[in-house]
Structure 1
């Protein structure tokens, strides 16, 4: 059996497929990419059992075949070759790769050991423009958790009803929520894993419509020659509305870029473990301070603000990195910071956000 393909086409697919291949696994076959063809196009697939990625590529194929090839080996070979035509000759599990000036031999594995492809039954879909789903993912992806003990937080909640889609993510320290008004035929709450959404984001090149197809336990997205599939996270998502405060009395309006720039400079002097940045908020100004007792380093800057609420000074501390991250997501000239006290959840949202369709929640840290 033989097939031929341009190296640049194969290499681009392999680099993406390698993003799904697990670093460590009890199943050795998962370190391979499945190569298969019906005699027409060449299909490549990788999976970690939760997320899978598939490419359909143009190639010259002599006959149908299926074999699993170790991704690290073939990726190394293709990365070191120029953009030329590659010939693959398969004899059982033996693979010979030929170029104009060389021959390379590797061993493949029986494709029957490779996990079966996910096929969706009784599926529905929710549709977005590519620009919109990119915006929704960008706003929520950084607030997901890596904690294996909290699986529901390792993805983004899609709360879909007939008039809007709400995306929510949280890691217990920060929460992001964004709403998008649209008509939906699907009404469902699903948790989509972070890894799938990062892959999806990387294939959103233009403003065409993008469908996320949903079944009881899986979701898929299709592009011209790419299919991404994932298991949905089967867990109960926390009641996010309960943790979003409704009674924060203090509202502080700041220039977004001014406070971000100040935090970047001051945070250089913060403790490397706590990253603590202290905000001393008065009627017309915020003093931003950071210090590291271990190195006797400290810094403070004053920026202007407009404060509404009780006539009292507020002293509150945050992880400076988290605060910068949340402020950068507002993408607005001015940011509204809504505070109750130094220990309660703080809301951060664009000041000119009308209607108020997105917000972030950030938990303070205790003052050292």
Structure 2
């Protein structure tokens, strides 16, 4: 069996699929690509059993065939070549030979039957489907993924909630200290349902999304993202996502308006003076300014700065983990000004842009920390 393909086109294809190849796995078969040649189309698959990636390219082939070949070795060989045509030949001795104008390379291959079966959505009556712009999806991930939990004891929070409703498509992430709630009002669906997409899928998607539309298909166990010539399929997290709406306070009547960059710059400096264990920073808020301070008793170091603001009350002192404040602010840098909605020194704080966008609602939630008396 023979086929040929341009080396640079193949390199581009393999680079899209290789993120699904695990770096460490007890199942050595997962360290391979599945090559499937059918009617002049080469489909290449990779999976770590949590996510799968598939991409395709047209090739000149004399017949249909499927085989499994070592992923990283093949990728490194193809990546090292100058632009040329690669002739692939499969031999009866389980070797795949790669021949170019200036070299010949040989790898072992395995039967395609040894590769895990991959999820498909064909003829799935439980499947739902929606389309979203790739830049919108990437923006949602960029704004929210930092708040996903790293704690394996709470697996649902280790992913991003996709909530389809009459209001639009909502993305929610939280680790119990921070929460992001982003709603695209213009993404309409004919179904109301929620799905939790694991962090691994979000991370890979964030690197490959572009301005083109993404076709999303989903059932109870899997979600597929189809972008041009590449498709990512991920297992969904089966555990129920926490009731995020119940932790968003309704009584936060105090408003603090502040310049995003000025506050972020100050927080970055105060991080130098906060204790490494608590990372605590204190906001002493008055009508026209915030005094931001931090102290590291172990080092005998402290810092204090003032930032202009507009506050709807006389005064309030509240403490935060400065690393969490920095995370939130650094994901709102596109906003010139933001509003903190507060109630007291112990209640969750809502942070949102001053300037609202037409089809996007975003709020972030930040839990305070107790100040020493």
Q: Output the TM-score relative to the length of structure 2.
A: 0.91
**Match of 2:24?**
24
Quote the offset at 1:170 in angstroms: 0.8
Where 2:325 maps in the other structure, the secondary structure is helix
What CA distance in whole angstroms lies between the structure 2 residues aligned with 1:95 and 1:268?
A: 57
What CA distance in whole angstroms lies between the structure 1 residues aligned with 2:28 and 2:111?
A: 12
**Match of 2:75?**
75
Quote the offset at 1:336 in angstroms: 0.6
Aligned with residue 340 of structure 1, among 336, 343, 346:
343
Aligned with residue 271 of structure 2, among 267, 285, 295:
267
- 1:63-99 deviations in whole A, cap 9, x for unaligned? 2111111212112222322222222222243122222
Quote the offset at 1:165 in angstroms: 1.8
What CA distance in whole angstroms lies between the structure 1 residues aligned with 2:169 and 2:318?
A: 36
Quote the offset at 1:126 in angstroms: 2.0
What CA distance in whole angstroms lies between the structure 2 residues aligned with 1:272 and 1:333?
A: 30
Is residue 271–residue 292 contact of structure 1 (8 Å, CA) maintained in 2? yes
State how 1:97-112 maps to structure 2 within 5 Å. Answer: 97-112=98-113
Q: Cα RMSD (Å) of the superposition?
A: 2.1
Quote the offset at 1:354 in angstroms: 6.2
**Match of 1:203?**
208
**Match of 2:323?**
321
Q: 1:268 to 1:69 in 2, by over 3 A?
A: farther
State how 1:211-360 maps to structure 2 within 5 Å. Answer: 211-309=215-313, 311-318=314-321, 320-330=322-332, 331-353=334-356, 357-360=361-364
Where 2:189 maps in the other structure, the secondary structure is coil
Where 1:108 maps in the other structure, the secondary structure is strand
Aligned with residue 164 of structure 2, among 146, 160, 166:
160
What CA distance in whole angstroms lies between the structure 1 residues aligned with 2:294 and 2:369?
A: 13
Where 1:245 maps in the other structure, the secondary structure is coil
Q: 1:164 to 1:96 in 2, by over 3 A?
A: same
Quote the offset at 1:273 in angstroms: 4.4
Q: 1:298 to 1:5 in 2, by over 3 A?
A: farther
Aligned with residue 193 of structure 1, among 189, 198, 202:
198
Quote the offset at 1:149 in angstroms: 2.4
State how 1:80-159 maps to structure 2 within 5 Å. Answer: 80-92=80-92, 93-120=94-121, 121-122=124-125, 123-159=127-163
Is residue 320–residue 367 contact of structure 2 (8 Å, CA) maintained in 1? no
What CA distance in whole angstroms lies between the structure 2 residues aligned with 1:278 and 1:236?
A: 35
* Structure 2: gaps of 5 or more residues: none
Q: Output the TM-score relative to the length of structure 1.
A: 0.92
Is residue 215–residue 227 contact of structure 2 (8 Å, CA) maintained in 1? no
Where 2:331 maps in the other structure, the secondary structure is helix
Quote the offset at 1:269 in angstroms: 3.5
Is residue 256–residue 333 contact of structure 1 (8 Å, CA) maintained in 2? yes
Is residue 244–residue 361 contact of structure 1 (8 Å, CA) maintained in 2? yes
Is residue 163–residue 181 contact of structure 1 (8 Å, CA) maintained in 2? yes
